[in-house]
Structure 1
Amino acid sequence: MSIAQAIRPHLPYLRRFARTLSGTQEAGDGYVATLLEGLVSSPSDFPAELPPRVALYHLFLRVWNSVRLSSPGAEAINAPGTAQQRINSISSLPRQAFLLVAVEGFTASEAATILEIEESDIERLLDIAGQEIAHQVATNVLIIEDELLIAMDLETIVTSLGHTVQDVATTKTEALAAVQRRKPGLVLADVKLADGSSGLDAAKEIVADGEVPIIFITAYPEKVLTGARPEPTFLISKPFQRETVMAIISQALFFDTRAHLRPAAA
């Protein structure tokens, strides 16, 4: 298979990544074009030992980190209150790690290969990205989880990112009571709970009173992949990796403007 055939299916996703990283489609396409021109002139630079998608993003970020192109449409980057503005405010390498894992869906191992760093560094970069996101978009989190150790793990992750855990509920009844006391900005929900009740049912009642981003964390993903509301936009399977939860929490809040926006520092 030729290099062109190998990378063609991945180019639309690379353009999306480049647009998000740079702030505009024009600027992103400029970097993609520079990458493709380089491959035409030096095809031997393509690392054939890597999966094509990993190799493509790896080469793209080499270009991104070594070439500075003019960025038409920079006003889009600075538009107030946009997700792109928040993305652009994250430090360069943490931003790259965050987008690779949370948006492009690479594993921590694949992201490490793309960035030419150790896999252990990915969690550190995601932690930095999460904290920088939380500096702008902070919220209170409801955890619906009946396993104590898992609930403690999630609470540690949430607070390490700068958010507040408002309650840990072990049943549907406890979850709904917590929402009555204070509406959460984000919900982390298991599906099967201690008393036989359902975190999915609790989530349905929570969103019935207003949209709230919900991340399902479950050993039974088939229970939420039914097409019924609430849509499982964010789904993490157990056992989970800490860096995956960090990335998805940040992604859910990053693209949800209902989270509390912290005022800019004076």
Structure 2
Amino acid sequence: MTRPPLGVVRQFSRAVFADRLIGDELMRMTMARVSIDPASSSSSVVDVMSAFLHSWRMALKERPARPVLFSDAALIDALPEPPDDGRLLLLMCDVMGLMPHQAAQVIGIEEDPRAVLRRARHDLRIEKRARAVVVEDEPLIAADIRGILERLGVEVAGEASSAAEAVRVATDSRPDIILADYNLDGRDTGIDAVLEINETHDCPVVFITGFPDRVLQGDEIEPDFVISKPYTPDNVRAAVVHCLDARRA
């Protein structure tokens, strides 16, 4: 975990809802309520993540019965409740890369976090039929991701090894989720493909890449989910199931 703490919080906030705009608004609102300076060299990821989650929980407790339209309280009132502790731990460990003891400290879990994480992983399942497109130019990696998805019960509706092919496949298949690499055959990247796909088809995207720093730059095209290579099946399962759950909530 080498990313700046504020970048980790931003990515986590986006991942919770599988939505960049909602995640960024929540982070803006929660971090405005805390005294911690996320830019301080003494602020750790655990410190800033703890402040973010505590601020979110307090905002939920303090929301008025009839919040003023377009206020921060109205935003909080319109959002789903935070995921349960098991799902939060899963996201922090399997998607964000925190160690179980770090995530447990952020959430306030007193039980052995490894046991909580095992249960959360065991409970992962796809409740409704879902279709995916895999965008990956390494055949062995593409086959491995396909296998993980199929074991989850997700239909792989198409595969692509270049940005242009990804656009064609996604346009034809209209997937529920896309799993994409950053570096692809040809000049264009996975982000180029996703930007073009999103012009006509909105669906969550999980980037699985060996170059996370090129993807996670804090700008408007930063994706909701990024998994670093080498990945594990647990990383992919956590991102895919939560992504689909969040979009269907």
Alignment TM-score, normalising by the size of structure 2: 0.59
What are the superposed Cα offsets for residues 82-133 of structure 1, whole Å, 9 maximum, x if unpaired? 9559x6xxxxxxx6433212157463643699642657x84x53443321xx
Q: Secondary structure at the match of 1:255?
A: helix
Q: Secondary structure at the match of 2:123?
A: helix
Q: 1:155 corresponds to which letter in structure 2?
A: R
Preserved contact between residue 191 and residue 220 of structure 1 (Cα < 8 Å): yes
Q: Secondary structure at the match of 1:191?
A: coil
**Structure 1 counterpart of 2:181:** 190
In the alignment, structure 1 residue 116 sits paired with structure 2 residue 112: yes
Q: Secondary structure at the match of 2:201?
A: coil
Q: Secondary structure at the match of 2:247?
A: coil
Structure 1, unmatched stretches of 5+, are: 1-5, 27-81, 88-94, 262-266
Match of 2:124 among 122, 125, 130: 130
Question: Root-mean-square deviation (CA), in Å?
Answer: 3.8
Sort the Cα spacing of 1:108 and 1:9 in 2 relative to 1 into closer, same or farther, 3 A.
closer
Work out the CA distance in 1 between the residues paired with 2:48 and 2:166: 43
Query: How many Å apart are 1:12 and its aligned residue?
Result: 4.0
Preserved contact between residue 218 and residue 237 of structure 1 (Cα < 8 Å): yes
Q: Secondary structure at the match of 2:88?
A: helix
Q: How does 1:13-162 map to 2 (within 5 A)?
A: 13-15=52-54, 25-26=60-61, 96-102=85-91, 105=96, 107=98, 109-110=100-101, 115-116=111-112, 122=117, 125-131=119-125, 134-135=126-127, 137-162=128-153
Bigger share in helix: 1
- Count how many residue pairs are aligned between Structure 1 and Structure 2: 185
Q: Mean Cα displacement is larger for which, 189-198 or 142-151?
A: 189-198
Sort the Cα spacing of 1:230 and 1:212 in 2 relative to 1 into closer, same or farther, 3 A.
farther
Q: Secondary structure at the match of 1:149?
A: helix
Match of 2:193 among 170, 195, 202: 202
Sort the Cα spacing of 1:224 and 1:243 in 2 relative to 1 into closer, same or farther, 3 A.
same
Work out the CA distance in 2 between the residues paired with 1:162 and 1:217: 19
Work out the CA distance in 1 between the residues paired with 2:123 and 2:98: 16
Relative contact order higher in (CA < 8 Å, ≥ 6 apart): 2
Alignment TM-score, normalising by the size of structure 1: 0.56
Preserved contact between residue 141 and residue 167 of structure 1 (Cα < 8 Å): yes
Preserved contact between residue 208 and residue 226 of structure 2 (Cα < 8 Å): yes
Q: Secondary structure at the match of 1:154?
A: helix
Q: 2:124 corresponds to which letter in structure 1?
A: G
Preserved contact between residue 126 and residue 246 of structure 1 (Cα < 8 Å): no
Query: How many Å apart are 1:196 and its aligned residue?
Result: 4.3
Q: Mean Cα displacement is larger for which, 104-113 or 178-187?
A: 104-113
Sort the Cα spacing of 1:8 and 1:107 in 2 relative to 1 into closer, same or farther, 3 A.
closer
Q: Secondary structure at the match of 1:130?
A: coil
Preserved contact between residue 205 and residue 225 of structure 2 (Cα < 8 Å): yes
Query: How many Å apart are 1:239 and its aligned residue?
Result: 1.1
Work out the CA distance in 2 between the residues paired with 1:159 and 1:188: 13
Structure 2, unmatched stretches of 5+, are: 1-43, 62-78
